[in-house]
């Protein structure tokens, strides 16, 4: 029996289509997961538009934000059983012996391959997952919410691990996409006074920031940044998909403040970094996530401190992937979720 899958089959723009694929066979340390829901990520859109900067193992099933139920267990897997409700981390292939993996920083292992570009992802009925990637979710937590654990972990890493926000800090989030919104929500949980900045075209997406109790600014945020003592915001989380926003971040941040950069784009910079030095700024990159972040984020979602449903713009069967991708790509909604058939 074959199952429909959203497959990215070539490097050319638009090379995504539904293909019928076999149920994967699992290895001794894997489980087979029946996917309940899978989120569409900006990186899925980038691969569809062929404007991504990473190596893709074509053809590949897209999708790395997913949860589901275990339906098969590999011979050497312990601690899991059929029927367990789980979400999966994204680092499908890692070198367990790399010095980074041994420190628990397998997300930074250079040989890491993720679902949806390195190995087949979850935009289909069944996906093969190494058991070390799994996290249990409580029975009351819906898969519609749980499948968004991954982008929440990206945001948690950018805001909590790679920035240090104190209650009352003024925090500016650049970019109204999924990661920007979730960074805003988490910065609020840290006690920050938070504003989300976007362009006029981002209006409908920006309005969601109000649901997380954040201010919304279209265009120039310097007035908000300078409120108070006039020196700038304590922390900038740059979640825009470009390098150039670093310039805005350096303008808005106060002396001795911090910038956490989680949004990226391949374009080169073309300005001086003197402000970084002169203002004594701590600039920190933030990439991916690891096991303790996943456990913490699951408890935040399950405990309803973090409501991911605010960002979900709709749920489509995977066969209608194109509409789900297009709505997100046009910026009409923040996040599309798919359901395998």
Binding footprint of Zn ion on the chain (CB under 5 A)? 41
Q: Minimum distance between the CB of residue 135 and Zn ion, rounded to whole angstroms?
A: 16
Pairing of strands 233-238, 16-22: unpaired
E strand or H helix that includes residue 323: helix 321-329
Judge contact between 147 and 135, C-beta under 8 A: no
Cα dihedral 255, 261, 264, 265, rounded to 10, equals: 10
Structure tokens at 168: 């009352």
Strand, helix or coil for residue 68: strand
From the CB of residue 251, how many other CB atoms can be counted at a distance below 10 Å?
15
Nearer to Zn ion, 65 or 202 (CB): 65
Residue 274: which residues within 8 A CB-CB, separation 6 or more? Answer: none
Q: Minimum distance between the CB of residue 123 and Zn ion, rounded to whole angstroms?
A: 12
For helices 321-329 and 42-49, give the axis angle rounded to 10 degrees. Answer: 100
What are residue 228's phi and psi, to 5 degrees? 90, -125
Q: Minimum distance between the CB of residue 39 and Zn ion, rounded to whole angstroms?
A: 7
For helices 149-156 and 178-189, give the axis angle rounded to 10 degrees. Answer: 60
Give the residues across from 38 on adjacent strands: 66, 338
Q: Minimum distance between the CB of residue 53 and Zn ion, rounded to whole angstroms?
A: 15
Phi-psi region of 7 (alpha: psi -120 to 50; beta: other; left: phi over 0): beta
Q: Minimum distance between the CB of residue 61 and Zn ion, rounded to whole angstroms?
A: 15
The span from the CA of 50 to the CA of 8, in Å, is 10
Q: Minimum distance between the CB of residue 48 and Zn ion, rounded to whole angstroms?
A: 14
Q: Which of 214, 260, 262 is nearest to 235 (CA)?
A: 260
Q: Minimum distance between the CB of residue 275 and Zn ion, rounded to whole angstroms?
A: 31
Q: Minimum distance between the CB of residue 41 and Zn ion, rounded to whole angstroms?
A: 3
| Closest-approach residue to Zn ion (CB) | 41
Q: Can you give the C-alpha Rg of the chain in angstroms? A: 20
Q: Minimum distance between the CB of residue 9 and Zn ion, rounded to whole angstroms?
A: 20
The span from the CA of 11 to the CA of 28, in Å, is 32
Nearer to Zn ion, 42 or 59 (CB): 42
Q: Which of 101, 100, 160 is nearest to 133 (CA)?
A: 101
Judge contact between 257 and 232, C-beta under 8 A: yes
């Amino acid at each position: 029996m074959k199952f429909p899958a959203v497959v990215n089959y070539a490097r050319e723009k638009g090379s995504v289509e539904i293909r019928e694929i076999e149920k994967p066979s699992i290895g001794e340390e894997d489980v087979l997961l029946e996917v309940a829901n899978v989120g569409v990520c900006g990186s899925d859109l980038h691969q569809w538009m062929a404007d991504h900067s990473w190596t893709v193992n074509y053809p590949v099933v897209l999708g790395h934000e997913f949860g589901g139920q275990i339906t098969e267990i590999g011979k050497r897997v312990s601690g899991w059983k059929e029927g367990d409700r789980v979400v999966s981390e994204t680092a499908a292939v890692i070198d367990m012996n790399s010095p980074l993996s041994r420190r628990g920083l397998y997300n930074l292992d250079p040989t890491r391959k993720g679902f949806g570009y390195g190995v087949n992802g979850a935009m289909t009925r069944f996906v093969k997952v190494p058991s070390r990637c799994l996290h249990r979710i409580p029975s009351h937590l819906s898969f519609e919410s749980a499948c968004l654990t991954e982008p929440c972990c990206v945001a948690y890493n950018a805001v909590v691990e790679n920035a240090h926000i104190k209650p009352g800090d003024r925090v500016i989030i650049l970019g109204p996409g999924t990661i920007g919104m979730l960074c805003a929500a988490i910065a609020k949980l840290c006690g920050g006074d938070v504003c989300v900045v976007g362009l006029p075209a981002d209006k409908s997406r920006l309005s969601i920031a109000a649901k997380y109790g954040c201010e919304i600014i279209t265009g120039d945020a310097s007035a908000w940044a300078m409120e108070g003592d006039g020196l700038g915001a304590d922390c900038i989380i740059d979640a825009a998909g470009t390098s150039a926003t670093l310039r805005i971040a350096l303008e808005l941040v106060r002396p001795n403040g911090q910038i956490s950069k989680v949004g990226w784009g391949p374009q080169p910079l073309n300005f001086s970094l003197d402000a970084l030095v002169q203002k004594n700024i701590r600039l920190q990159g933030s990439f991916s996530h690891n096991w303790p972040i996943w456990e913490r984020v699951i408890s935040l979602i399950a405990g309803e401190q973090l409501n991911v449903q605010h960002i979900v713009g709709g749920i489509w069967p995977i066969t209608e992937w194109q509409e789900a991708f297009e709505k997100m790509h046009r910026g009409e909604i923040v996040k599309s979720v798919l359901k395998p058939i």
